[in-house]
Structure 1
Amino acid sequence: MALDEAPASSSPRRAAPSAGLLLTNEFGLIVLILLFGAGFAALAGGFLSPFNLFTLGRTVAVSIVIGLSMMAVIATGGLNLAVGAIGVCAAMASGYAIEVLGMPWPLGVVAGLAVGAALGWVNGWMVVRTGLHSFIITLATMSIFFGAMIFLTRAESYRALPAAFTTIGRAKIGGVVSPLLLVTLVVMLALVYLYRFTALGREMLAAGARPEAAELSGIRVDRIFILCHVLSGFLAAVAAVMMVARNGAAIPSMAGQLGQDWLLPAFLGPVLGGTLLNGGKVSVLGTALGALLVALLTNGLLLLQLGEFWIQSFLGLLLLLAVLIDKSRRSFLARRNLA
């Protein structure tokens, strides 16, 4: 039958969407999550215990927002290597505002979010003004932001935070679910609305897919690139504030040296979830599922008492595989004029 001919019956039409669903990143990730979850439940003692599920939920909640922070910049074909450094700066700003300046904790949180967005604006502005790739700019600002934070705070932690704030990160809903997961859900829904139902979101994707064509159609591409970095910085700050609530303190080392501990999960979530590295396509649900898979694997392998080195090596191989899959997917789409 020719491709442009109508089928004899309506059955193939009903089956087509299901077949397409089976080929999506989201479906593949769901299958992997179920398979690994079942394997860890059988092999790792305590994997399904309420304590471990609660701990896993808190970790996943933060990891998803970290992945979404990177996704916001990858949407334009860029990168944000400073996502961890921005997060730490935002966390320390919140801790300083609450503990030293005596702000009510909601205002302290807003101050931290504002710092994250401002540092994101700095990254975006420098990328646009210099014309350099965001990889170079954010690699430099990662060290600059982190170093400035260490100098200003003298590497001291802020631990005298109100119980009303830290309780959010330690509370349990139904004995298992962390309230931080609800925060993550709100962030995800907001991003879905942004990218699917707003002109700004569509402009972000258009600018990432074909910047020259977007410019010709009247989209201010430079402005869009800056806004994407602002969004990335804001989301990094959200993840950082969630970590402060979870840990009960704002700690300079909460994201590792220079914030590098966030880089691997930041890349794995969106790349596994189907966000194209050359920009123009994002998947909020896919990023969340990718982050869940990474957290699940890390948690299960730790319960199986594998060394941290082997876990990091495995995640690195997973990232390499995801990048190769992304390259194959882009080639597939290009050959069929679907990219």
Structure 2
Amino acid sequence: MSAMELREPDHVDEAVSGPAKAVRRFGRTPGFAQRVGLLLVITILVLFFGSARSAFYSQQLSVFPLLRDIATLTVVGLAQLAVLSIGHMNLAVGRMAAFSAMFMGLAYQDWHLPLYAGLLVGLLAGAAIGALTGWIITVTGVNSFVVTLAMDFVLLGLVSLVYSQFTTAAAFTAKPAGMDQLRNLSLGDLCAGQVCGSPAVPQLMLFALAAMGIVGYLYSRTRVGRELLLVGSNVTAAQLSGIPASRRIVTAHAMSGALAALAGFMLAVTAGSFTADIGGDFMIPSFLGPVLGGTLLAGGAVSVVGTLLGTSLVQVIRQGLTMMGIGLESLNIYLGVILLVALSTDRVRDAISTRRTVASS
């Protein structure tokens, strides 16, 4: 099993035994064939769009911005993956990105912090608002759908109020040193003229790869990650096994908020400023990437590499259809159909797995 495609494992720890073993979801892990299938579809679509529009292969006009969008939305997908792993969802992922970006804008414009110090401030703000959301869920017992939807409205009003009070053009336009380089330069520009990376791969891709590495390591190599998956598999069994389920719920939502903050930073770098509408289009892509990649809506299994592939598939389709002259309305219809198919596939996979488990017992 790949370290990046994980389910709740067969041996969580010595402390995880008894009732937990009765709810194991064997056969639920996204498989190698599924990832190869996604990669094959992406390859076919790239060849198709490239043959239909040669500009699709242009490094500066098409490939560079495409990979930059994939990098940002992969991080958005990881933010949703963090809560999906415990069977929750985060409908406020976009507002959390805007909330965190607001703190970054304040850090750069009013506090005059350097680039990465401001990023750290935003990550802490994202983790804090995510942790608060998780705490509310555990204390009230209200479904994550309702709590995160309410949080979305709260943050919408709060962010708009702060921007109206502290900015004159509804944006923090201060640019710390290094911000323009992150937006415009590729990996090939890191070595001062020496060839060490593709000129078509943006430097922002490094943030996505780092996030993937950290999230993959968390779920594959740490007790916390394994406990998150067990909570997603069956929260009652997790509690009976001695796992602090409430703390793990707070942990998952804090991680979701921090990853949303990173995505907000990446989008602000791409746009060149920190605005109140950052993250406004994050919600649907946040589900498309992980669900297409094999992460289960019911919790208990995640796929980090699958999130990258699912996001890439959606963005290749978006880029290709846009270059072929498909209007925004039609494009949204296609993306909605893709999401519906992805959700239906998840339910079918769940039903098949359940039947196999019953048949084998």
Structure 2 length as normaliser, TM-score?
Answer: 0.85
TM-superposed CA distance for 1:163, in Å, is 3.6
The equivalent of 1:186 in structure 2 is 210
Percent pairwise identity: 36
With 182-191 and 160-169 compared, the bigger mean Cα shift is at 160-169
Question: Does 2:343 match 1:331?
Answer: no
TM-superposed CA distance for 1:336, in Å, is 1.1
Task: Tell me which amino acid in the other structure corresponds to 2:175.
Answer: L
The equivalent of 2:328 in structure 1 is 308
Task: Tell me which amino acid in the other structure corresponds to 2:103.
Answer: A
The equivalent of 2:116 in structure 1 is 106
With 273-282 and 169-178 compared, the bigger mean Cα shift is at 169-178
Question: Does 2:280 match 1:250?
Answer: no
TM-superposed CA distance for 1:243, in Å, is 1.2
- Gap runs ≥5 in structure 2: 1-28, 189-198
TM-superposed CA distance for 1:180, in Å, is 0.8
- Gap runs ≥5 in structure 1: 1-19
The equivalent of 2:137 in structure 1 is 127
TM-superposed CA distance for 1:122, in Å, is 1.3
CA distance in 2: counterparts of 1:41 and 1:149, whole angstroms? 41
CA distance in 1: counterparts of 2:200 and 2:177, whole angstroms? 20
TM-superposed CA distance for 1:253, in Å, is 1.7
Question: Does 2:339 match 1:319?
Answer: yes
Tell me if the contact between 2:30 and 2:303 (Cα under 8 Å) persists in the aligned partners.
Answer: no
Tell me if the contact between 1:166 and 1:247 (Cα under 8 Å) persists in the aligned partners.
Answer: no
Number of aligned residue pairs: give it. Answer: 316
TM-superposed CA distance for 1:242, in Å, is 1.0
Tell me if the contact between 1:166 and 1:244 (Cα under 8 Å) persists in the aligned partners.
Answer: no
CA distance in 1: counterparts of 2:87 and 2:267, whole angstroms? 28
- Cα deviation, 1:180-210, whole Å, max 9, x if unaligned, reads 1111111111111110111000000000001
With 201-210 and 240-249 compared, the bigger mean Cα shift is at 240-249
The equivalent of 2:172 in structure 1 is 158
CA distance in 2: counterparts of 1:159 and 1:171, whole angstroms? 20
Task: Tell me which amino acid in the other structure corresponds to 2:114.
Answer: P
Tell me if the contact between 1:25 and 1:272 (Cα under 8 Å) persists in the aligned partners.
Answer: no
CA distance in 2: counterparts of 1:67 and 1:152, whole angstroms? 27
The equivalent of 2:22 in structure 1 is none
TM-superposed CA distance for 1:105, in Å, is 2.4
Given candidates 264, 272, 281, the residue that maps to 2:292 is 272
TM-superposed CA distance for 1:46, in Å, is 0.4
Question: Does 2:219 match 1:210?
Answer: no
The equivalent of 1:80 in structure 2 is 90
TM-superposed CA distance for 1:22, in Å, is 7.7
SS of aligned partner of 1:79? coil
CA distance in 2: counterparts of 1:32 and 1:94, whole angstroms? 38
**Root-mean-square deviation (Å):** 1.6
Task: Tell me which amino acid in the other structure corresponds to 2:214.
Answer: A
Given candidates 58, 67, 80, the residue that maps to 2:77 is 67
**CA 1:26–1:158: 2 relative to 1, 3 Å:** same
Question: Does 2:298 match 1:284?
Answer: no
CA distance in 2: counterparts of 1:124 and 1:273, whole angstroms? 25
**CA 1:99–1:300: 2 relative to 1, 3 Å:** same
TM-superposed CA distance for 1:21, in Å, is 9.3
More helix as a share of residues: 1
The equivalent of 2:192 in structure 1 is none
